[in-house]
Amino acid sequence: MNHNDYDVLLGISPDIRQFAETLIEHSCFGICGGKARLTDVRSGPEESPDFIFGSEDTDFSPDIADIKTLVDWDYHNPYALLQVIEELLRMYKVHQERIVEAYDRLQFEYSSLVNQSDITSQHVEVHILRFESKVGPISFLVRLPVDFTRIPPFLSKDNPGEDSAILLISFLSPSSSKITPQLYLSPKVEHALGGAANLRIPAFPSDGCLLDYVPNVSNLLSNKVDQVVANFEKRKEYIAAFLSHFGRSLLEYDADAFTKISFLFEWNDFFFIFL
């Protein structure tokens, strides 16, 4: 919990502080694991909360009877508010997916990706901005199914947290050929793979589709992980070979990254260090 969150909590009525604390500490929304942010807090201790959505979401108005966590609101349960928000976000995700169905191009992009690749609907979020007669941009947020568990521990020990690679693909409009991809890596993964400058993803082809492009980027990252792992194993084997031949002369070596080793040798009463 940061200082801003702590300051907000101090100004909240004790009757609802439990909801705010749980929300700040345990919220992990969407495929990006977003945290909740509290502002302008007002209280009604025993009543279930009201929700206000943006002007672009006027058609998102779920029936309260369908929101089980709201119907069963229990102000004694510190997780009650968190559970309501999680349920509303699931409903909003379904709402956005239904909007996609109204546009042939978007419906094809979404359905082909989740039905014909390793990407499932749980790995994809879509959001369509709509203002009066204007539709777009449309954002597809895709969590890439890359296995980062093989990354050597020394590369991630100073960057705790989740391993993730999120691909954001933005369509200017439902039929636009202007498509912009952006790759976002968790700090741990970015550091392990050599930084953002070392991970340039290809441009989205003018005649491309998500079904082809997303797996290509996923494979690119998987290959990068393979390179990092292979380099680590080669260094480890190299150090092991030196140790097997000159282990009795060893001074020290890097047992984490296997990048350094030093020996003390003697030749005709002359002693020298070999690095």
Q: Report which of 11, 30, 31, 9 is spatially closest to residue 78, judged by C-alpha positions.
A: 9
pTM: 0.83
Looking at 52, 77, 93, the residue that finishes a domain is: 93
Q: Report which of 187, 167, 171 is spatially closest to residue 179, judged by C-alpha positions.
A: 171
Domain count, the chain: 2
- Give me the domain span that covers residue 237: 231-274
Q: Has residue 5 got a pLDDT over 70?
A: no
Say what the pLDDT of residue 12 is.
76
Looking at 93, 122, 153, the residue that finishes a domain is: 93
Q: Has residue 2 got a pLDDT over 60?
A: no
Does 224 map to a domain?
no
Does 37 map to a domain?
yes
Average pLDDT over residues 71-86: 91
Residue 205: pLDDT band (50, 70, 90) is: very high
Average pLDDT over residues 211-222: 94
The per-residue pLDDT for range 151-185, each reduced to its tens digit, is 888 876 766 667 889 999 999 999 888 899 999 99
Q: Has residue 1 got a pLDDT over 60?
A: no
**44-48, 148-152, 237-241: the lowest-pLDDT one:** 44-48
Q: Has residue 51 got a pLDDT over 80?
A: yes
Residue 10: pLDDT band (50, 70, 90) is: low
Does 187 map to a domain?
no
Average pLDDT over residues 74-89: 92
Average pLDDT over residues 243-256: 91
Residue 213: pLDDT band (50, 70, 90) is: very high
Does 249 map to a domain?
yes
Does 8 map to a domain?
yes
Average pLDDT over residues 247-268: 91
Measure the CA–CA gap between 113 and 128, rounded to whole angstroms. Answer: 17
Looking at 93, 113, 147, the residue that finishes a domain is: 93
Residue 62 has, within 13 A of its CA and on its CB side, a CA count of 24
The per-residue pLDDT for range 128-140, each reduced to its tens digit, is 988 878 888 999 9
Average pLDDT over residues 17-26: 85
Average pLDDT over residues 96-106: 93
Q: Has residue 43 got a pLDDT over 80?
A: no
Does 86 map to a domain?
yes
Say what the pLDDT of residue 24 is.
84
Q: Which two tokens stand for residue 232?
A: 């680590």
**Contact criterion met (CB below 8 Å) for 126 and 97:** yes
Average pLDDT over residues 85-114: 94
Does 19 map to a domain?
yes
Residue 8: pLDDT band (50, 70, 90) is: low
Measure the CA–CA gap between 239 and 261, rounded to whole angstroms. Answer: 7
Say what the pLDDT of residue 196 is.
65
Average pLDDT for the chain:
87
Q: Has residue 13 got a pLDDT over 60?
A: yes
Does 48 map to a domain?
yes
**Long-range contacts of the stretch 40-47 (C-beta < 8 A, 24+):** 41/8, 41/11, 41/12, 41/16, 43/12, 43/13, 43/15, 43/16, 45/13, 45/15, 45/16, 45/75, 46/75, 47/75
Q: Has residue 46 got a pLDDT over 80?
A: no
